[in-house]
Chains A and B, each alone.
Chain A
């Protein structure tokens, strides 16, 4: 057995690596995209007074906002996980007299630093990538060698937004600090405080109202869509409202989904324990999975809507089949949306790793009581698979629903006022299955290695 003397500690750099990475990805994406629109303007907009750039940048901003929205959710949840892991030290500080609000502010300040560092890294990366791509384009003759701008001033926009959203997200995520009671420093049971049940009830009511109202609006949008493409506007807001309800109510929806998925895995002891872990802490599993649900929902919604749109075009205008510009447009838009899913995946991996690492003591106890290393590894893999499958599965289902509703509301009147079945983009589903499996596996690597390299004694002594 290994007997490393190293105590399992999570320095704040390890804790914040994920937050910085997510912020950097968001900023790279934003800066790269705006640089690209700048280059395109230099290429095509010869003396057009900048209208082309305004149009391009506006489209780019939609995707940047989507990516940053996902990044913010992921970051808020990561900070929630970090605070949960620090509950004991926070309780100790509270015990000796620190005020909850001071502690929360200090966590949010960490968020500001994470955002600033990530945004700066992303700005450099985005500039580097955009110029490298430009050089390659020119060198291969794909792009003409005209005078391109070096740095588009608009890139301050995503950089500033990343700093702000990360700060805001860390503030929201650190709300859990307020729920830590000084008593937790003395308790032997590691359990987050049950929290304010009243607030939960209010939240549940809001979630139900949003889902119900939003679904109603979606239905209305679909009906309107049968007579006019403007139905999409009603459906759009219905979609936003109902999805916000799903996100708000995630702590009720996801555990139920996890329970369902957990049944698929059989009843061996690693699996049963993994299922218990996933289900018994609704807050923890929700934090880990909700970002991925959002990412997968976005991608699927887009893909289903596009597939329906394409097939509608082909049936109405058979000439358009195989039109390369349509294919390219869809691929580019898909890639832009896909970036949000990548951010969600990164967040999921880090969140899951963190939350397993925080359970070092529990894993030490299991090892002391007779859990073999392979069993621990299987437990962690089962847990991460269960979470990933539940999140991706829920995302796909929601995405198919939203994508279909969107396509129906937009095209229903044009297609002769009929309802059509949702078109499922099977290549995307296949990609999601592979991606989900890879994600589950990747997310389990670091915690598995940690859990099996530390001796049970060292793990039990961890705080």
Chain B
């Protein structure tokens, strides 16, 4: 599927984004959220006007690097605990409404 809105687009269709996130919106909700989304993007648009040509790109917020762990296994959760939060469980598995393959 072609990307309907590029990352740089000024406007973003709230129904499209909601669809990606599998969220159903009523017409009233869509209208209200579209307004909020437009405001957010307008603010980001303001930021884009700043001259950052002399600023180094920051892709992480911490100074840390290589926070690695040794490859040594420990015991996992008890399965009962794992499944305790599941709305539905069967055969030791989480059960969800059928998703199309």
Are A and B associated in one complex?
no
B interface residues with partner A (beta carbon < 8 Å): none
A interface residues with partner B (beta carbon < 8 Å): none
